[in-house]
């Protein structure tokens, strides 16, 4: 069983160790509590740009040296930017634990943001933006975020726009880093055959000099019920519709996970069976839930023919409406078992345990133990899931985004009428 310990060092940085003695690798992650939603109006995409630049040179290492140092010992380094966090992580063999701390501290404390690398990476990110737009099943989710949150920063693209990315220079990148990359905003999570004493010692040695920064000021968004259709010459309509949902700290988060699974989380789910198997209306369909610190969304993605997109939405909405009153205990039990299995299976992976430990600390200030999570899943009742479905449907009207042939005539009022 993994042994999880946490502590803080003098500058306010949080350290977590997940002792997994039988593992043959370690995963080290640095979670920074700032993401795309924390950007100012003239900074859209800067958190993601800065994440790219972290690997492009420090006072003592070139971009190539960073890559070689990791790959020479068979390691892997990467990062991601999300709406509420940016994370940097390394997977290594246990004997290279200190090297992992050394490299992560170097790229986060000593980046020099060389001008030639900024220009090169600017081109890479602009290509990434173009690739995302060219991938309709990705682009429709960006459109959906804007449909839900409008001009609120949760509605902005994580990648930014070509115009915004073209405007960033070293002073803007360094300024964003100085404002938000402070000790109190960081969590270091390490999973593998390590002790908390090791993690504390290395955390102090490599991150103890890190100063403080300001916490981002976040304002809860209003959920907007809007319809966005981007007409494009494609074979399929890529459709996302969804609703306001509970936030990540809500007591409803486990019922939401159960509802998401049984509604559209697998081949036995209502959406897969009713939309694909019984009617053949699409190849790909699933439900999803995304929870932030102060709000959430619950929705459906489907890729379908322009001739069947409205029928697909009607069947999907009726399936959700039915969740208010005719849930079977078999569905509830199956969904809960899927969640239990996910909790248990990820405990075999150092990367997964590093990730979930950091996420829990960022959201809740503590780590939920395995048995505590399993008990919370077991506690979810059929009545609670039905109540949540009713709460979602009776909340703000849904939002809708479609990318593809502009054949959908479904309006928000039509969706509400189906759910009434």
Q: What is the pLDDT of residue 183?
A: 96
Do 3-207 and 227-419 fold alike per CATH?
Answer: yes
For the chain, give the percent of residues with pLDDT over 90: 94
Window from 206-220, 255-269, 270-284 with minimum mean pLDDT: 206-220
Q: Please determine, for residue 408, whether its predicted confidence score (pLDDT) is greater than 90.
A: no
pLDDT digits (tens, 9 = 90+) for 286-321: 999 999 999 999 999 999 998 999 999 999 999 999
User: Which pTM was predicted?
Assistant: 0.94
For the chain, give the percent of residues with pLDDT over 70: 100
Q: What mean pLDDT comes out for the span 238-252?
A: 97
Q: What is the pLDDT of residue 33?
A: 95
Q: Please determine, for residue 367, whether its predicted confidence score (pLDDT) is greater than 90.
A: yes
Q: Please determine, for residue 398, whether its predicted confidence score (pLDDT) is greater than 80.
A: yes
pLDDT band at 263 (very low <50, low <70, confident <90, very high): very high
Nearest to residue 354, comparing CAs of 76, 29, 39?
29
pLDDT band at 338 (very low <50, low <70, confident <90, very high): very high
pLDDT band at 202 (very low <50, low <70, confident <90, very high): very high
Q: What is the pLDDT of residue 406?
A: 73
Mean pLDDT of the chain, nearest integer = 95
d(C-alpha 157, C-alpha 153), whole Å: 9
pLDDT digits (tens, 9 = 90+) for 62-92: 999 999 999 999 999 999 999 999 999 999 9
Q: Please determine, for residue 329, whether its predicted confidence score (pLDDT) is greater than 80.
A: yes
Catalytic residue list contains 251? no
Q: What mean pLDDT comes out for the span 388-412?
A: 92
Q: What mean pLDDT comes out for the span 3-18?
A: 97
- For domain 227-419, the CATH architecture is 2-Layer Sandwich (3.30)
d(C-alpha 390, C-alpha 402), whole Å: 25
CATH number of 3-207: 3.30.830.10
- Which ranges in 220-301 belong to alpha helices (H)? 253-264, 270-271
Q: Please determine, for residue 213, whether its predicted confidence score (pLDDT) is greater than 90.
A: no
Which is the catalytic residue, given 39, 43, 51, 84? Answer: 51
323-358 core/surface letters (b: 16 or more CB in 10 A; e: else):
bbeebeeebbebbbebbeeebeeebebbbbbbbbbb
Q: What is the pLDDT of residue 1?
A: 74
Q: What is the pLDDT of residue 180?
A: 94
pLDDT band at 217 (very low <50, low <70, confident <90, very high): confident
Token reading at 54: 């972290």
Q: Where are the domains of the chain?
A: 3-207, 227-419
Nearest to residue 176, comparing CAs of 375, 326, 34?
34
Q: What is the pLDDT of residue 216?
A: 76
Q: CA dihedral in degrees (11, 45, 217, 242; nearest 10)?
A: -120
Q: Please determine, for residue 273, whether its predicted confidence score (pLDDT) is greater than 90.
A: yes
Partner residues linked to 240 by β-bridges: 301, 401
């Amino acid at each position: 069983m993994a042994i999880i310990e946490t502590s803080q060092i003098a500058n306010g940085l949080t350290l977590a160790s997940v002792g997994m003695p039988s593992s043959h690798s370690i995963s080290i992650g640095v979670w920074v509590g700032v993401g795309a939603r924390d950007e100012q109006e003239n900074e859209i995409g800067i958190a993601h740009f800065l994440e790219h630049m972290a690997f492009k040179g420090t006072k003592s290492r070139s971009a190539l040296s960073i890559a070689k140092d990791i790959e020479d010992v068979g390691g892997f380094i990467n990062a991601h930017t999300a709406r509420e966090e940016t994370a940097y992580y390394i997977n290594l063999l246990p004997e290279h634990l200190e090297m992992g701390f050394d490299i992560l501290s170097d790229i986060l404390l000593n980046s020099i943001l060389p001008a030639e690398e900024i220009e090169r990476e600017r081109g890479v990110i602009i290509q990434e933006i173009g690739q995302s737009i060219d991938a309709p099943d990705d682009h429709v989710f960006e459109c959906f975020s804007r449909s839900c949150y409008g001009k609120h920063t949760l509605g902005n693209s994580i990648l930014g726009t070509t115009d915004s990315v073209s405007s960033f220079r070293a002073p803007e990148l360094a300024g964003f880093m100085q404002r938000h990359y402070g000790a109190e905003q960081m969590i270091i999570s390490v999973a593998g055959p390590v002790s908390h004493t090791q993690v504390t010692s290395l955390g102090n040695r490599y991150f103890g000099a890190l100063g403080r920064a300001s916490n981002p000021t976040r304002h809860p968004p209003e959920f907007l019920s809007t319809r966005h259709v981007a007409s494009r010459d494609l074979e399929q309509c890529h459709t996302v519709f969804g609703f306001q949902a509970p936030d990540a700290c809500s007591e409803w988060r486990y019922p939401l996970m159960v509802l998401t699974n049984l509604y559209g989380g697998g081949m036995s789910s209502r959406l897969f069976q009713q939309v694909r198997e019984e009617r053949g209306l699409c190849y790909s369909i699933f439900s999803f839930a995304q929870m932030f610190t102060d709000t959430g969304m619950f929705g459906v993605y489907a890729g379908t023919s322009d001739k069947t997109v409205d029928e697909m939405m009607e069947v999907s909405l009726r399936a959700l409406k039915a969740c208010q009153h005719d849930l079977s205990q078999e569905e509830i039990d199956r969904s809960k078992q899927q969640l239990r299995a996910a909790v248990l299976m990820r405990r075999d992976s150092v990367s997964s345990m590093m990730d979930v430990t950091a996420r829990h600390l960022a959201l809740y200030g503590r780590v939920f133990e395995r048995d505590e999570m399993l008990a919370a899943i077991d506690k979810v009742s059929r009545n609670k899931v039905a109540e949540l479905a009713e709460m979602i449907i009776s909340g703000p009207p849904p939002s809708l985004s479609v990318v593809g042939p502009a054949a959908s005539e479904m309006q928000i009022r039509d969706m509400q009428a189906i759910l009434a």
